[in-house]
């Protein structure tokens, strides 16, 4: 049964942030709020976290996981950025965008696209998500909480708890968050290509 953890949406309590991060360090899989919609999150080094996300969302090995990072310095450890990508992505973050880029050797092979060796990265503009990543000290391996039989993501913590109680370790509820997944921009070929239109305005990358 998943733990239900209520946290303040704009001023997350440090003791609650520490409690959630303690769970993550014990390989927990959580649902947590972002600036676009709720997401599934676990540590990059989690023994089975990636596989659990794949099972919940019915994803195959070609799915691009997202590394939710604390800041641009952290992004630079995990993906390769040319000058054009650096400037454009920096101008759009933090915000509801996910960028697909070539992965560095810091990204475990099992988490990158098997053929392209790419991975998603983003910096979330949400106090709770930001606090969790900073306290954890490393990116959160994440995927939008969009279930295979639903067109829209769930937007309320109690609903997620009710639906996924048996497959999550914790639900971090800070009230309603966004109702759209992030906009996904593939920059792995040296230019932007919008793969999914979501909460972020795609016009700046079209």
For range 43-63, the mean pLDDT: 93
Phi, psi of 122 (to 5 degrees): -160, 155
According to the model, what pLDDT value does residue 156 have?
Answer: 86
According to the model, what pLDDT value does residue 142 have?
Answer: 97
Residues 6+ apart with CB under 8 A from 23: 3, 30, 169, 170
d(CA 150, CA 132): 27
pLDDT interval class at 206 (50, 70, 90): confident
Q: Is the pLDDT of residue 150 over 90?
A: no
For range 120-127, the mean pLDDT: 97
For range 153-180, the mean pLDDT: 91
Q: Does domain 3-205 have CATH number 3.10.20.30?
A: no
For range 40-69, the mean pLDDT: 94
d(CA 130, CA 67): 12
According to the model, what pLDDT value does residue 179 have?
Answer: 84
User: For residue 30, what are its two tokens?
Assistant: 């959580």
**In the chain, what are the domain boundaries?**
3-205
Q: Is the pLDDT of residue 169 over 90?
A: yes
According to the model, what pLDDT value does residue 47 have?
Answer: 84
Distance of CA 26 to the CA centre of its chain: 18
By the 8 A CB rule, do 199 and 178 touch? yes
By the 8 A CB rule, do 118 and 188 touch? yes
Average model confidence (pLDDT) across the chain: 94
d(CA 17, CA 20): 5
By the 8 A CB rule, do 74 and 139 touch? yes
Does residue 146 sit in helix, strand or coil? coil
According to the model, what pLDDT value does residue 176 have?
Answer: 82
What is each CA distance from 166 to 2, 20, 99, 172, in whole angstroms?
Answer: 7, 18, 31, 15
Q: Which residue has the tokens 């099992």?
A: 110
According to the model, what pLDDT value does residue 204 have?
Answer: 92
For range 76-92, the mean pLDDT: 95
**pLDDT digit string, tens, across residues 9-50:** 999 999 999 999 999 999 999 999 999 999 999 999 998 999
d(CA 120, CA 30): 19
For range 153-179, the mean pLDDT: 91
Under DSSP, the state recorded for 157 is: H
Name which of 94-103, 108-117, 133-142, 151-160 the model is least confident about.
Answer: 151-160
pTM as predicted = 0.95
Under DSSP, the state recorded for 103 is: B
Q: Which among 188, 61, 17 is positioned nearest to 118, based on CA atoms?
A: 188
For range 122-148, the mean pLDDT: 96
């Amino acid at each position: 049964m998943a733990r239900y953890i209520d946290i303040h949406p704009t001023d997350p309590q440090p003791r609650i942030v520490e409690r959630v991060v303690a769970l993550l360090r014990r390989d927990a899989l959580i649902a947590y709020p972002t600036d676009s919609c709720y997401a599934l999150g676990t540590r990059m080094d989690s023994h089975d976290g990636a596989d659990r996300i794949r099972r919940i969302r019915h994803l195959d090995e070609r799915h691009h996981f997202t590394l939710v990072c604390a800041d641009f310095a952290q992004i630079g450890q995990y993906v390769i950025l040319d000058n054009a990508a650096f400037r454009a992505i920096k101008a759009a973050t933090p915000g509801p965008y996910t960028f697909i880029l070539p992965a560095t050797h810091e990204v475990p092979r099992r988490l990158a696209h098997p053929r392209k060796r790419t991975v998603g990265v983003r910096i979330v503009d949400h106090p709770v998500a930001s606090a969790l990543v900073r306290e954890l000290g490393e990116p959160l391996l994440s995927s939008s909480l969009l279930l295979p039989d639903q067109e829209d993501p769930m937007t309320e913590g109690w609903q997620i708890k009710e639906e996924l109680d048996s497959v999550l370790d914790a639900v971090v509820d800070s009230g309603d968050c966004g109702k759209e997944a992030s906009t996904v921009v593939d920059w792995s070929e040296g230019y932007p290509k919008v793969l999914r239109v979501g909460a972020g305005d795609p016009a700046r990358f079209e």
